[in-house]
Amino acid sequence: MPSDLPPGAVPPDSSQHWGPAPSAGSYPSVHMPPTPSMASGRPARWPALTALAIALIALAVGVAAWFRSTPHNNQPPPKPAYTDQQVVNAKTNVCAAFEKVDHSLALAYARNGGSDPTAQLAVATSTQLTLDAGSRYLSVTLADEPATPADLATAVRKQTDAYQKALIGFLNGLTVSDPSQQPNVHASDEATTTIRQMCK
């Protein structure tokens, strides 16, 4: 087969790609892999740092708010204002409740069982029930009448407290004449005198 090569020339190797170099912008040869990008293996660090900074700021703000001292207001809240008629009505209702309780206790103390143990137990039980019911009734009435004058409300609370303490003593087997019951008896007598004077 004739050859156009001059004598002594070596034919080109068919495994080599001859020809002009690829122009700019063309795809690289399969035999020459592209140079890896310097940043291709590194994750973006700025978004992570930004998120961390925001989290630290939020944490600092939360801690500061937690330890920030709450301003104290030493002024008491304003007392609600009541009309004169409301005060009169409240006083009337509280005094009426006290009269009912005081009368029921007078009836209970007036009873006696004589020498009959069963009658004595019935009288003691009745007195204890009157003390308990009376103290509860006065407390509820006082709570329902917030316009009650302060001095009257204080006396009624002292009375209910004396009733309850005396009742606990009776339930523990004490009698009215027992020395440990005397403070309760005196407190009740003083409260009764004060309430009667205010309820005239």
Cα dihedral sign, 108-144-92-200? positive
pLDDT score of 122: 85
pTM of the predicted model as reported, rounded to 2 decimal places: 0.60
DSSP percent split of the chain into helix, strand, coil, nearest 5 = 60, 0, 40
pLDDT in tens, the chain (200 residues): 455 555 555 555 554 444 455 554 444 444 445 555 554 555 556 666 777 778 778 777 666 666 665 555 677 667 778 999 999 999 999 999 999 999 999 998 888 777 888 888 888 888 899 999 999 999 999 999 999 999 999 999 999 999 999 999 999 999 888 999 999 999 999 999 999 999 98
Residue at token pair 């029930």: 129
65: in domain: no
What CATH number should be reported for the domain holding residue 110? 1.20.120
**Greatest CA separation for the chain:** 159
Phi, psi of 52 (to 5 degrees): -65, -40
Domain residues for 148? 84-198
73: in domain: no
Q: In whole angstroms, give the CA distance from residue 85 to residue 70.
A: 40
pLDDT score of 63: 64
140: in domain: yes
67: in domain: no
Residue at token pair 């009215």: 176
